[in-house]
Structures are given as C-alpha cells and as structure tokens.
C-alpha cells in the first residue's frame, strides 16, 4: 500500500525528535570545555535543540 505524502512530514518530524534524544545523550563535558562550564550559551546541545524545534515547526507548517 502506498503511504500518502503527508507521511513524509510525519517521518521527518520523527527523525528530528530522535535526533533530539541523541543530542541530549551526549554528556555536557563532551560539548562544553571546562573553562566555559558556567556559560549556558556555550552548551551546543541547546543550539541543536532550538534548530530541531524550528525544523519540526517548518515540517508541521508546510504539509
């Protein structure tokens, strides 16, 4: 059976959610050097989270 095109959006959103889980499985010490430990903006996992949420919004809107 052929899946409707809308499933491409659902699969994309699922992939981005899985990526988000993967990002937060990386320990903070591997992302932020010790000398920057107190600076939240240097934690690239938050940058990645923002990007992922924005992508989910795009694939929710353009369907």
Partner 1 sequence: MHPIDLAVVVAYVALITFVGIRFAQRVKTAKDFFLAGRSLTWWVIGLSIIGTNVDTNGYIGASGNAYSIGIAQANFEWIGAIPAMIIAALIFIPLYWRAGVYSIPEYLGLRYNQAVRVVAAGIVVTVSVFAMGVAMWALAITLQTFIGWPIWLGILVSGTVVGLYSVAGGLGAVAVTDSIQVCIMFLCGLIIVGIGISDAGGSASFVAKLTAENPTHLQAYLPSDHESYPWHGVILGLGLVLSPAYWVGGQAILQRTLGAKTQWDASAGMMFAAVAKTFVPVLIVFPGLLALVMMAEIEYPDMALPWVIKNVLPVGVSGLMFVAIIAALQSSIDSSINSTALIITRDIRHVLMKNHNPESDLKIGRILTLTLLLSAMCIAPYIGNLGGIFNFLQSLLSLFQGPMLALLLLGAMTKRATGTAGIITLVSGVLLAGILSWVVELNMLYVAFFTFCYAVPALWIISGFTKPHSDDHLRNLTYSPWANSNANKPSAV
Residues in touch with partner 1 (CB under 8 A): 2-3, 5, 8-9, 11-12, 15-16, 19, 23, 26-27, 29-34, 36, 42, 44-45, 47-48, 50-52, 54-55, 58-59, 62-63
Q: How far is the CB of 5 from partner 1 (least distance, A)?
A: 5
Q: How far is the CB of 51 from partner 1 (least distance, A)?
A: 6
Q: Quick one: which H or E segment has residue 47? A: helix 44-61
| Dihedral angle of Cα 15, 19, 25, 30, to the nearest 10 degrees | 160
């Amino acid at each position: 059976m052929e899946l409707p095109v809308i499933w491409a959006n659902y699969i994309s959103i699922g992939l981005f959610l899985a990526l988000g889980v993967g990002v937060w499985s990386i320990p903070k010490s591997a992302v932020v050097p010790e000398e920057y430990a107190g600076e939240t903006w240097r934690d690239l996992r938050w940058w990645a989270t923002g990007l992922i949420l924005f992508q989910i919004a795009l694939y929710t809107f353009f369907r």
